Amino acid sequence: MLTYYGPEAHLLAGGTDLVVKIRLRLVRPRVVISLGSLEELKKLERKNDGSLEIGAMKTLREIEQSNALAKDFDLIRQGAGCVSSMQVRNVATLGGNSCNASPSADTVPGLIAADAVTRIVGPGRERLLPLEEFFVAPGKTTLQTGEMLAGFQVPALPPSTGAVYKKFALRGEVDIAIVGVAARLTLDESQRVKQARIVLGAVAPTPLRARGAEEVLFRRYPSDELFMEAARVVAEDSRPITDQRATAQYRKEMIKVWTRHALQEAFQKACGS
């Protein structure tokens, strides 16, 4: 059906974005195709090697409450728990939060920081694509005609790894993020940074992987001074806009604050893992 109707068809998962757009006449699909009966898209499975598979139709509330994610992949749980209200999380899906391609999506930074890969299926084929490369612009992804996001594959995290997602919004979880930061640190035997991931939401047209700041952290001993230095680099590389929630200048200041907080917390978790 998706192939036959092409751009005139829209997929319905939780509907928390699509139904609103239809009511506001922002989109006018000829056909709406429900994914509700596709049980394969609702799985959440830990593999023997410690990796994770999550179906695109898994609800954010299910992810938020999942014991399978309680330790290694807690940053994914944290991101899901930051999306809007509980009523929304009861029906909104992990795949929908990515396919909506909002720059401020709360689940995306944590998934990218965990090196998540998307599983995309289409007419007669299947392809894997790093989630980091899935987004093209606000509201636009790399999905082609007839394709759909089936789920995510997340590799096992290395030992001595700590990861967190921090959201800053004026009215708490129910509000759209002014800044969202996912940070992941892996330490070596001497407690230096062996690997770092910093991913931000709401500060650029697409989720921002702060590679410059990651290089600043590499092979150095964690400290408050180092985290402040990395946070300044993140702010310099960001491209926030001014909107009804915050000015670009204010966002840049909050990027420094929340990146530092996220790195400090990720370091504490890495030391305790």
Domains and CATH numbers, the chain: 37-154 (3.30.465.10), 161-272 (3.30.390.50)
Q: And the tokens for 221?
A: 């001993």
Mean predicted lDDT score pLDDT of the chain: 96
| Strand-pair category, 161-168 with 193-201 | unpaired
The whole-angstrom separation of Cα 186 and Cα 249 is 31
**Per-residue pLDDT tens over the stretch 188-231:** 999 999 999 999 999 999 999 999 999 999 999 999 999 999 99
Q: pLDDT by residue (tens digit) across 242-267? A: 998 899 999 999 999 999 999 999 99
Is 141 buried (19+), middle (13-18) or exposed (0-12) by CB count in 10 A?
Answer: buried
Q: Are 157 and 73 in contact (CB under 8 A)?
A: yes
Average pLDDT over residues 49-74: 95
Rounded distance between C-alpha atoms, residue 60 and residue 120, angstroms: 20
Residue 116 has pLDDT above 70, yes or no: yes
Mean pLDDT of 88-103: 97
Q: Which amino acid is at 249?
A: Q
**pLDDT average, residue stretch 76-99:** 97
Map tokens 């899935």 to a residue.
134
How far is 270 from 192, CA to CA, in rounded Å?
Answer: 11
Residue 247, helix vs strand vs coil: coil
Look up residue 178 and give its two tokens.
């002014």
Q: 34-44, pLDDT tens digit by residue?
A: 999 999 999 99
Question: pTM for the complete prediction?
Answer: 0.96
